[in-house]
Amino acid sequence: MSKKIVVIGGVAGGAGAATKARRVDEDAEVIIFERSPYVSFANCGLPYHIGGQIEERETLFLNNPQKFLDWYNIKVKVNHEVTKINPEQKTVEVINHSTGEKFSESYDKLIVSTGGSPIKPPIPGIDKKHIHNLWTVQDMDDIKAIIEKEKPHKAAVIGAGFVGLEMVEALAERGIDVTLIELLEQVLPPLDPEMSIPVTEHLKEKGVEVILGDGVQSFLGDEKVEKIQLKSGKTVEADFVIVSIGVKPNVEILKDAGIQLGDQGGVMVNERMETSVPDIYAAGDIVEVNHLVSGKKVRIPLAGPANKQGRVAGANAAGGNLEFKGVLGTSIVKIFDITAAKTGLNEKEASEEGLDFFVSYTVNKDHAGYYPGAEWMHVKTIVENETGRILGAQIVGPKGVDKRIDVMATAIYAGLTCFDLEQLDLAYAPPYSSAKDPVIIAGMVASNVLRGEIEIITPRELEEMLKSGEEIQVIDNRAMVDLDKDGVMEEADVIPIGEFREWYEEDIDKDKPVVVVCGIGYRSYLAYRILKQKGYNVKSLSGGYSTRIMRTPRKK
């Protein structure tokens, strides 16, 4: 006797679950209930259609009900919302929003992928016209219509996460003056603060007004928004607003059905994506799964994990035996001409987990410097002391960030160490990389630290030492031409590496701690090796002056 599999929700998790269930069991009856008019669309592509990078709206729709029926023999009922799950009866209650009809549907196996909803904070005036979220196709259509018909001049984006920054770019590309408002002191909260600085500076270079560390007090105007009153007292003019401050999981029907939720408000599932109630599976933005580094349950609403989770849930509901191992939170975002990415734990998260680790900064070009078009990237690697296990990485730069963060994510998934990173056999040709790829360099530097070949100090640690009044000698190993081009470090005496052996004994006091500095950390590494072997108490500034100011060396 064939089984009946009901899927609540489409898009990434639900649609993937349904099609995988079909591939596992050709005879099963599979039904998808989707409350919106669209069962499968590229929600990550919505900002790019608004900005004009994706010209054709129809390309965002990956599948439709007729294709689901023709290709997969799956019944899709759009505009149908499941309002209740009855685990004991193994039924769901459904309302057809097109007709108002209410009915019950039985199931043998149930897969829930209800996704999330944008957070709408209780701010006075938030219901005024021209204040929008971007989450659904209808949101996209509404925003695009306002831009094209009413041609707003000044827009504000509330929230500097991934979607918020993508919308800043989209609006700017449409010729609108944009102000970005973020309550935290940085953009891109998943990154450590210093790694977000190049993104902030790039936004300003593109004409975006960036307001950090300030929240919205109220939205002002008659029917339509005209101004934003901030908590600091500052007023921002805006005739159009995008609110993008986070997403909450849609778990109400699961909670009402007695399905266990976790500490982060998501649905608890095991590796088979089974919930606490038999024959009910869950996937996508609503679930809490294992973090592959910390081992803790986390809810990370990203499309990649949602697709994989849906595939596992669909296979197992149909009689298969797949497992979802967990997540790293690997993510990437393009903001105009710069890219930022993260995988694993950031420094703050590693500290909160009580892990024993160090951080290493490296600055390298995405491909061979002698081949035209090479661009610098900042790499921050979080490494476990003793073992050398890679705990996390963050990368920011104009080009080549995507493939480097994917190598790092693969390394973390496989449990590799920094000693493994320096041995990786990566593809090299001048247009694509260097003989020592930025990932390999990151591994080499971190390995040098663990082998005791270099002692490093981070820019933050150096600042703390300088502020404390501790008596240290800072020696800059850059050439004078680099100082003129990139900036002078006022606390440092200059001894270029080419003259270092000639002058270090005369200019450096052997009885005082020494910090050597250069542009990106290589010349100071050479100076460190000289001083260390001569008995000096010395450390090298990780990532060099470029990391201290979070700006890459300027082109000559």
Mean pLDDT of 393-413: 98
Long-range CB pairs of 56-60, under 8 A, 24+ apart, other chains included: 60/137
Residue 359 pLDDT > 60, yes or no?
yes
Mean pLDDT of 170-179: 97
Tell me, yes or no, whether 444 lies in a domain: yes
Structure tokens at 234: 């500052």
Strand pairing class (154-158; 240-243): parallel
Q: What is the pLDDT of residues 482-512, one digit of tens each?
A: 999 999 999 999 999 999 999 999 999 999 9
Structure tokens at 46: 């919505």
Residues 542 and 494 occupy one common structural domain? yes
CATH of the domain at 490: 3.40.250.10
Q: What is the pLDDT of residues 420-450, one digit of tens each?
A: 999 999 999 999 999 999 999 999 999 999 9
Residues 259 and 232 occupy one common structural domain? no
Residue 400 pLDDT > 90, yes or no?
yes
Domain count along the chain: 4
Tell me, yes or no, whether 126 lies in a domain: no
Tell me, yes or no, whether 326 lies in a domain: no
Residues 372 and 518 occupy one common structural domain? no
- For 252, the domain range is 4-114+248-317
pLDDT of the residue at 556: 56
Whole-number average pLDDT of the chain: 96
How far is the C-alpha of 29 from the C-alpha of 107, rounded, in Å?
Answer: 9
Residue 408 pLDDT > 80, yes or no?
yes
Distance of CA 363 to the CA centre of its chain: 20
Q: Of 434, 451, 468, which one is at a domain's C-terminal end?
A: 451
Task: Provide the β-strand partners of residue 378.
Answer: 363, 396
Report the sign of the C-alpha dihedral through residues 303, 306, 310, 316, in that order: positive
> Which residues form the catalytic set?
44
How far is the C-alpha of 87 from the C-alpha of 81, rounded, in Å?
Answer: 17
Tell me, yes or no, whether 61 lies in a domain: yes
Residues 63 and 38 occupy one common structural domain? yes
Residues 465 and 382 occupy one common structural domain? no
CATH of the domain at 27: 3.50.50.60
Tell me, yes or no, whether 399 lies in a domain: yes
Give residue 554's pLDDT band: very low, low, confident or very high (50, 70, 90). Answer: confident
Q: What is the pLDDT of residues 101-136, one digit of tens each?
A: 999 999 999 999 999 999 999 999 999 999 999 999
DSSP string for 381-428: EEEETTT-BEEEEEEEESSSHHHHHHHHHHHHHTT-BHHHHTT-----
pLDDT of the residue at 40: 86
DSSP string for 322-364: -----B---EEEEETTEEEEEEE--HHHHHHTT--EEEEEEEE
Tell me, yes or no, whether 354 lies in a domain: yes
Q: Of 197, 220, 245, which one is at a domain's C-terminal end?
A: 245
Residues 64 and 48 occupy one common structural domain? yes
Residues 150 and 76 occupy one common structural domain? no
Mean pLDDT of 253-272: 97
Residues 349 and 437 occupy one common structural domain? yes
- Could you tell me which residues come within 8 angstroms of residue 414 by beta carbon, excluding any fewer than 6 positions away? none
Percentage of residues in the chain having pLDDT higher than 90: 96
Residues 50 and 103 occupy one common structural domain? yes
Mean pLDDT of 244-269: 96
Q: One-letter amino acid identity for 72? A: Y
Place of tokens 């610098």: 376
Q: Of 393, 426, 451, which one is at a domain's C-terminal end?
A: 451
Residues 105 and 254 occupy one common structural domain? yes
Tell me, yes or no, whether 108 lies in a domain: yes
How far is the C-alpha of 546 from the C-alpha of 556, rounded, in Å?
Answer: 15
Tell me, yes or no, whether 364 lies in a domain: yes
Residues 171 and 140 occupy one common structural domain? yes
How far is the C-alpha of 512 from the C-alpha of 459, rounded, in Å?
Answer: 19
Residue 12 pLDDT > 90, yes or no?
no
Place of tokens 């609403």: 301
Residues 358 and 299 occupy one common structural domain? no
